[in-house]
C-alpha cells in the first residue's frame, strides 16, 4: 500500500490560489456535505469547535473519498496531541498562536520521528500507517506531512521572519481576529494598523520561500489578501453560511427587528 498523497502540500508548490472553507460543526456528516461542494481544502477546527480526537477521525474518514483536502487545526501545539492527530491520519496540521522560532522548531520535531524529532511510534496501531500497510512509513512519513503555523499576535508578527525560516515549517497562516484584538483594535481587522501588520507578515513569509494563508470570508478582504500573495485563503465558514442563509430565508417572510451585516472579524 502506498503512502497517502498529501494533495494540499503539493498544491502549495503551485501558484494557483487554494480556496478553503472552515468546518466547525464537529460531525462527520456535516464535514462530508462540505467536502462535496468543491473547495480545495477544508479546516477541521479543533481549537474553537467542540472536536475531540475521535471526532476528528470521523471527519477525516468521512471526507476521504472527496477531492477537498482536510487540514486539522489542533487546540494546542502539545506534542502528545500532535502525535495522536498524526496517528489517526491527519497529514496537514495547523497550530495556533505560534510566537517564536523556538516554538516553530519544537512543532517540527513533534511532527517527525527520531533522530529528527520526538514523535512516538504507533506502528500497526495507527491509521496513518494503514495499520502497518505502508512500507517504510517511519522513514518517509515526513514527505507527505505539512505543518502550518499560525501567526496571530503582536509578538508572532514581530518574529515572523524567524518563524517562517524554520526548516520543516511549510506555511504560515495569519489570524486577523486575534491579531486585531492583540493590537488594540478588537473586532476591527480592517484597521490600518492591523492591515499593515498582516501585509508585513505576508511579505516576510513569502520572502522565506513559504506559502502564506489567511481566513477571509469577506470577498473584498479575500481579494486584497490574494493580491498581496496569500496562496491559500479560507473564504467561507460552514456555521456562518448556515446562519446567514437561515436568517435571510426567514427575513423574506418576517421583517426582522434588527438587521446585522455579516461580521468581518474572521
Q: Contact 143/168 with Cβ under 8 angstroms? A: no
Residue 226 phi, psi dihedral angles, 5° rounding: -65, -40
- What are the residues whose beta carbons fall under 8 Å from the beta carbon of 244, sequence distance 6 or more? 262
Bridge partners for 150 per DSSP: 173
Per-residue burial over 172-187, b = 16 or more CB atoms within 10 Å of its CB, e = otherwise = bbbbbbbbbbbbebee
Counting Cα atoms < 13 Å in the Cβ hemisphere of 132 gives 5
Q: What are 129's three cell numbers?
A: 500507517
Distance in angstroms (rounded) separating the CA atoms of residues 111 and 113: 7
Distance in angstroms (rounded) separating the CA atoms of residues 43 and 24: 8
| Catalytic annotation present for 142 | no
Question: Helices H, strands E: what count in the chain?
Answer: 12, 8
Q: Which of these is catalytic: 5, 48, 142, 200?
A: 48
Q: Specify the 3-state DSSP secondary structure of 236.
A: strand
- What are the residues whose beta carbons fall under 8 Å from the beta carbon of 231, sequence distance 6 or more? 12, 15, 17, 18, 171, 211, 212, 213
**Pairing label, strands 211-215, 69-73:** unpaired
- Residue 50: count other Cβ atoms within 10 Å of its Cβ: 11
Residues labelled as active-site residues: 48
Amino acid at each position: 500500500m502506498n503512502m497517502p498523497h498529501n494533495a494540499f502540500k503539493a498544491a502549495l508548490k503551485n501558484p494557483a490560489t487554494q480556496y478553503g472553507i472552515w468546518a466547525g460543526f464537529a460531525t462527520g456528516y456535516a464535514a462530508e456535505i462540505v467536502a462535496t461542494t468543491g473547495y480545495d481544502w477544508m479546516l477541521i477546527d479543533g481549537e474553537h469547535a467542540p472536536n475531540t480526537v475521535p471526532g476528528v477521525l470521523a471527519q477525516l474518514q468521512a471526507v476521504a473519498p472527496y477531492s477537498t483536502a482536510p487540514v486539522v487545526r489542533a487546540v494546542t501545539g502539545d506534542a502528545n496531541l500532535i502525535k495522536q492527530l498524526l496517528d489517526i491520519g491527519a497529514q496537514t496540521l495547523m497550530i495556533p498562536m505560534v510566537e517564536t522560532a523556538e516554538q516553530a522548531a519544537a512543532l517540527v520535531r513533534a511532527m517527525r520521528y527520531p533522530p529528527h524529532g520526538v514523535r512516538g511510534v504507533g506502528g500497526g496501531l495507527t491509521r496513518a500507517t494503514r495499520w502497518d500497510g505502508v512500507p517504510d512509513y517511519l522513514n518517509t512519513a515526513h514527505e507527505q506531512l505539512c505543518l502550518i503555523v499560525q501567526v496571530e499576535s503582536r509578538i508572532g508578527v514581530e518574529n515572523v521572519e524567524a518563524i517562517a525560516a524554520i526548516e520543516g515549517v511549510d506555511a504560515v497562516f495569519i489570524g486577523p481576529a486575534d491579531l486585531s484584538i492583540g493590537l488594540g483594535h478588537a473586532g476591527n481587522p480592517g484597521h490600518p494598523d492591523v492591515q499593515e501588520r498582516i501585509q508585513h507578515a505576508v511579505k516576510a513569509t513569502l520572502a522565506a520561500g513559504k506559502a502564506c494563508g489567511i481566513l477571509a470570508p469577506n470577498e473584498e478582504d479575500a481579494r486584497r489578501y490574494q493580491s498581496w500573495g496569500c496562496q491559500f485563503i479560507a473564504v467561507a465558514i460552514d456555521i456562518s453560511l448556515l446562519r446567514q442563509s437561515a436568517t435571510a430565508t426567514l427575513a423574506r417572510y418576517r421583517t426582522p427587528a434588527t438587521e446585522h451585516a455579516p461580521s468581518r472579524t474572521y
